[in-house]
Amino acid sequence: MPKSILPREGLTLEALFAPIRQILLQPLLTGSLLLVRYQYLDYIQRWVSPKAFNNFRSTKALTALSVLFSIGLLRKINNALSRLVLNNFTHDDTWDWSKEVVVVTGGSGGIGALMVQMFADKNITVIALDITPPRKPFSCNLFITAPKVHFYKLDITSTTSIQDVASLIRKSHGDPTVLINNAGIGTSKTIFDETETEIRRTFDVNTISHFLLVKEFVPEMVRENHGHIVTVASMASFLVHAGNVDYTCTKASALAFHEGLGQELKGRYGAGRVRTSIVHPTWIRTPLIERLTSKPEFKDFVLEPETVAEAVVEQVLSGYGGQLILPARLGLMSGVRGFPSWLQESMRNGVNQVLKT
């Protein structure tokens, strides 16, 4: 079946403006038109109508091309600088996906299971870690003689269990080279309504487990100066909803964890080729938020889980670290802490009742 030209979510702003990014903000195109405008007007005049020629050589056309070229060039430079700085200006790393081992926590369901399947479909050895078995068996490529996808039952809040399972993984598959900290939980309860056990469980799964898993799997990546750690955070890293405070705290800490891990890898261990990525999706269409999305008054944008899973897999396969904000239009919200206080509080007020039952 041919792939749709539109994303799964339909005609989004990102899809609507894609032609602008891909064509009008392509400096190679606008730069070429500017070159033609300055150097080859006589040649162009032979091939186009007088009206088209006059429009092309007009001051308005020149201004528009110059603005588009400048924006496109700055955008390219900005993206290149981000990639260079986030990856410590290192390019001399090779990823042999026939030998890499990918570990995904929360890999039995939801986005985690989708990522596991996507890696397996690309003949990459992938290991799903979860406290419950997969809801349905992962499929394997018919041309693979040995299965590439494996499941290990694991409570990621238990240090002992992590050490035991990690030992089995290393013995059977070798040292993991990609760790995706995807597992996460939430209660959608207010601070007063939530029990201490629920609060501690949320922090154990969403925050403490990141430390435990990194301590177990990443030292070998450091020794080899090769690897990738992906932290699945949320747009909640930047904006809190009433009734979701504990979850938001863990996602804010996930961002700090990601940033601090990157600093320690390059600043304390000299492992500049160990990549780090963080993902900030907005609402995702999963059973966890079904009660929200079924409300007529719920108007927020909702991502399909496949969209998020694909973005993470593509980031890993690129061989580079980075920050993904999904959808991209919400990138401005990442700077909310620098907004004027009245604007910050207005934004929080605007989502105050979203999770109210």
C-alpha dist (Å) from residue 183 to 23, 90, 128, 162 = 38, 29, 11, 14
163 phi, psi to nearest 5 deg = -65, -40
Written as six digits, the tokens of 20 are 């602008």
Confidence category of residue 230, pLDDT binned at 50, 70, 90: very high
Query: Which CATH number covers residue 147?
Result: 3.40.50.720
Distance between CA atoms of residues 155 and 137, nearest Å: 20
Q: pLDDT tens across 4-60, in order? A: 677 787 777 777 777 878 888 899 999 998 898 888 888 787 788 888 878 888 888
Percentage of the chain beyond pLDDT 70 is: 97
Looking at residue 1, what is its pLDDT? 41
**Does residue 333 form part of some domain?**
yes
- Does residue 169 share a domain with residue 63? no
Distance between CA atoms of residues 235 and 244, nearest Å: 12
Q: Are 180 and 104 in contact (CB under 8 A)?
A: yes
Last residue of a domain, one of 86, 115, 143: 86
- Does residue 326 share a domain with residue 250? yes
Q: Are 264 and 243 in contact (CB under 8 A)?
A: no
Question: Range of 76's domain?
Answer: 13-86
- Does residue 137 share a domain with residue 260? yes
Q: Is 251 a catalytic residue?
A: yes
Residue with tokens 């496109």: 72
- Does residue 341 share a domain with residue 296? yes
Written as six digits, the tokens of 106 are 């929360």
Q: Mean pLDDT across the chain, nearest whole number? A: 91
Last residue of a domain, one of 86, 121, 151: 86
Model pTM score: 0.88
- Number of domains observed in the structure of the chain: 2
**Does residue 130 form part of some domain?**
yes
**Does residue 2 form part of some domain?**
no
SS3 141: coil
Residues for the chain: how many in total?
357
- Does residue 321 share a domain with residue 227? yes
Is the preceding omega at residue 133 within 30 degrees of 0, hence cis?
no
Looking at residue 143, what is its pLDDT? 52
Neighbours of 146 (CB within 10 A): 6
**Mean pLDDT computed over 259-267:** 97
Enclosing H/E stretch for 197:
helix 196-203
- Does residue 254 share a domain with residue 137? yes
**Does residue 207 form part of some domain?**
yes
Q: Is 38 a catalytic residue?
A: no
- Does residue 330 share a domain with residue 288? yes
Looking at residue 3, what is its pLDDT? 57
- Does residue 51 share a domain with residue 114? no
- Does residue 265 share a domain with residue 135? yes
Last residue of a domain, one of 86, 119, 142: 86
Provide the b/e sequence for 81-98 (b: ≥16 CB within 10 Å).
Answer: eeeeebbbeeeebebebe
**Does residue 194 form part of some domain?**
yes
- Does residue 304 share a domain with residue 164? yes
Q: pLDDT tens across 52-91, in order? A: 878 888 888 889 989 999 999 999 999 899 988 988 888 7
**Does residue 4 form part of some domain?**
no
Catalytic residue, chosen from 76, 251, 266, 295, is 251
**Mean pLDDT computed over 153-158:** 97
CA atoms within 13 A on the CB side of 50: 0
Catalytic residue, chosen from 148, 189, 247, 320, is 247
